[in-house]
Amino acid sequence: MKNYDDYLIEVRMLIDAGHNRSDIIKALKIEYLMNEGDKNPIDELGKLISDIEGSRHELLFK
């Protein structure tokens, strides 16, 4: 099972490939729903999505 840092590495790869913040959030939400993260209250991917939406990782997108 992936943890927060594993997902963050994937986000960095998507950024390096030229994807923007909006596209990355969409992709993460799709993966979140496919993994049934909404049924797990302590889901790492859900936390990362919230952090990106809340601008915690703003420096990644500059």
pLDDT (tens, 9 = 90+) of the chain, 62 residues, equals 789 999 999 999 999 999 999 999 999 999 998 888 767 767 899 999 999 999 888 888 88
pLDDT attached to residue 30: 93
Q: Does pTM surpass 0.85?
A: no
> Can you spell out the DSSP letters for 1-62?
---HHHHHHHHHHHHHTT--HHHHHHHHHHHHHHTTGGG-TT-HHHHHHHHHHTTTTGGGG-
Residue in the structure block whose two tokens are 């943890």? 3
- Kindly state the tokens that stand for 44: 């790492």
pLDDT attached to residue 38: 67
Alpha carbons 47 and 6: distance in angstroms, whole number: 13
